[in-house]
Amino acid sequence: MTRQEFLLAMDRILELPEGTLTGAESLDDLENWNSLAMVEYIALADSNNGTQLSPRQIRDGTSIDDLAKLARID
């Protein structure tokens, strides 16, 4: 999965118009970043390259870029 594909997938997860996210966004500012979105993000990382992420690791992230790094998106 490319970075662009990841950002589009996160747009869908966070119910944002396609092309909204750039990566720099703070998770605290994203209204729909909640436990349900976290589950979908975990599924996305797992589907992409089998990366298994613990919610603890994810909760340490502060931005969409952090989520991309955790999911090993180039």
Partner 1 sequence: MHAVISAIEYYLPEATVSTGDLSAEFPEWSVEKIDSKTGICERHIAGKDECSSDLAVAAAEKLFSAGVSRREEIDYVLLCTQSPDYFLPTTACLIQDRLGIATAAGALDFNLGCSGYVYGLGLAEGLISTGQAQNVLLLTAETYSKFIHPRDKSVRTIFGDAAAATLLTAVDTAQSFLGPFVYGTDGKGAPNLIVPTGGMRRSRTPETATASEDESGNLRGADNLFMDGAEIFNFTLSAVPKSVEMLLSKAGVGFDQVDLFVFHQANKYMLEHLRKRMKIPVEKFQMSLAHCGNTVSSTLPIALKHASMEGRLPPGALVMLVGFGVGYSWGAMLVRWR
Interacting residue ranges for partner 1, rule: CB under 8 A? 34-36, 38-40, 42-43, 46-47, 52-55, 58
Cβ 25 vs Cβ 63: under 8 Å: yes
To partner 1, the closest distance from the beta carbon of 38 in angstroms equals 4
The residue (of 16 and 58) whose beta carbon lies closer to partner 1 is: 58
Rounded to 5 degrees, φ, ψ at 63 are: -140, 170
The residue (of 2 and 52) whose beta carbon lies closer to partner 1 is: 52
Q: How far apart, in whole angstroms, are the C-alpha atoms of residue 64 and residue 70?
A: 10
To partner 1, the closest distance from the beta carbon of 19 in angstroms equals 22
The residue (of 18 and 22) whose beta carbon lies closer to partner 1 is: 18
Q: Return the biggest CA–CA distance within the chain.
A: 28
Please tell me the total number of residues recorded for the chain in this structure: 74
